[in-house]
Amino acid sequence: MSRARSASDAGAEALAEALARHESRAARLSFAEEARVILDTNGCGALSTLGNQRAGVLAGFPCGSVAAYASDEDGLPIFALSALSQHARDARENGKATLTVTRAEFEDVSDGRVSMSGILTEVDAGEATARARARYLARHPGAFWVDFGDFAWYKMTEVVAIRIVGGFARAGSVTVEEYANARPDPVAAFSAPVCGHMNADHGDSLRDVVKHYVGVDVDSVEMRSIDALGMNCRVVKDGEKYACRLPFESAATGRKEVKDQIVLMTRNAAAAANAQ
């Protein structure tokens, strides 16, 4: 029994080491690009403001709540806030705020998240308001209430800090300049349908791809998200879960290129398996 446990432990350790070596050299987005992907592809986050002087025991304390938002063309979050909300009352007195957003597939602390800190400012009336409304409704098409009289548009401006955690042992800061220069990822927006299709119909192929490109046998593979440079997966072996990045052979610039890369990697894996 002891020897069996030792063999199992040794196998798990060898798998973890092989995945760690692979992850250390796997091509992936920069922190700035990944932060932009997380903010652009989500629509809700934890918004924290500083309690205003009339907030009772919360005066001066961080006040956090889940808030809907949409990214503008520069990747900055836009909010529709009621004058009755804690956030709006706080922002009128002190606009300092932090928005924390997780990846769409977030389940635990091994998944990515971003925090952006800046000043929550009411958007000027006129064309700026119309643009904010259009961006917000594109992300939240059912938000008819934004036209109620007590709602106003706010935007995070004067960003001072961006912090990203991409998972275990992968975290860092992004400068305002780096974030401003990060372009929207061309394929992340349709990550969910691609991953859903692959997980539902091509699980065995994904296992073969992991075997070929990473060199490990696993029990199952779940594709969790994609970007222009590759696939973010979760692999399971003997009940244990591990992150696994599968870079594309070449960068994808659209949905067709994503399909082409996945087909290429699948065929390469199948050919290698047949050659054994």
Q: pLDDT value at position 8?
A: 65
Residue at 116: amino acid letter: M
Q: pLDDT value at position 1?
A: 44
In tens, the pLDDT along 24-48 reads 899 999 999 999 999 999 999 999 9
What b-and-e string marks burial along 76-102, b requiring 16 or more CB atoms within 10 Å of the CB? bbbbbbbeebbbbbbbeeebbbbbebb
Alpha carbon dihedral 80, 86, 89, 90, in 10-degree steps, equals -100
Residues 102, 109: contact at Cβ < 8 Å?
no
For every residue of 230-252, which 3-state class applies, written as one string? EEEEEEEECCEEEEEEEECCCCC
Residue closest to 234 by CA, chosen among 265, 198, 258: 198
Mean pLDDT computed over every residue of the chain: 93
Query: Is residue 3 scored above 70 in pLDDT?
Result: no
Query: Is residue 2 scored above 60 in pLDDT?
Result: no
Residues 111, 102: contact at Cβ < 8 Å?
yes
Query: Is residue 135 scored above 60 in pLDDT?
Result: yes
Q: pLDDT value at position 235?
A: 95
Which has more confidence, 2 or 274? 274
Specify the CATH number for 11-26+189-275; select among 3.20.180.10, 3.40.50.300, 3.10.290.10, 3.90.650.10: 3.20.180.10
Calculate the alpha carbon distances from 98 to 13, 53, 160, 209, 274 in Å.
Answer: 39, 19, 10, 40, 53
In tens, the pLDDT along 71-112 reads 999 999 999 999 999 999 999 999 999 999 999 888 888 788
Q: What's the CA gap between 101 and 259, in Å, rounded?
A: 28
In tens, the pLDDT along 210-238 reads 999 999 999 999 999 999 999 999 999 99
E strands of the chain, at which residues?
44-50, 62-68, 70-71, 77-82, 96-102, 113-122, 151-167, 170-174, 220-227, 230-237, 240-247
SS3 217: coil
What is the token pair recorded at 35?
């932060």
Q: What's the CA gap between 275 and 271, in Å, rounded?
A: 6
In tens, the pLDDT along 152-163 reads 999 999 999 999
C-alpha R_g of the chain:
22
Which residue carries 């244990």 as its tokens? 240
Query: Quick one: what percent of the chain has pLDDT higher than 70?
Result: 97
Q: Given pLDDT bands bounded at 50, 70 and 90, which one contains residue 151?
A: very high
In tens, the pLDDT along 178-197 reads 999 999 999 999 999 999 99
Taking domain 31-182, whether its CATH number is 3.40.718.10 is answered by: no
> Per-residue DSSP letters for 123-168?
PPSTHHHHHHHHHHHHH-TT-GGGGSTTEEEEEEEEEEEEEEEEET
Q: pLDDT value at position 211?
A: 96
What is the token pair recorded at 6?
């030792």
Residues 240, 233: contact at Cβ < 8 Å?
no
The predicted model scores a pTM of 0.89
Give the start-to-end residue ranges of the domains of the chain. Answer: 11-26+189-275, 31-182
Answer yes or no: same fold for 11-26+189-275 and 31-182.
Answer: no
- Phi, psi (5° rounding) for residue 39? -70, -40
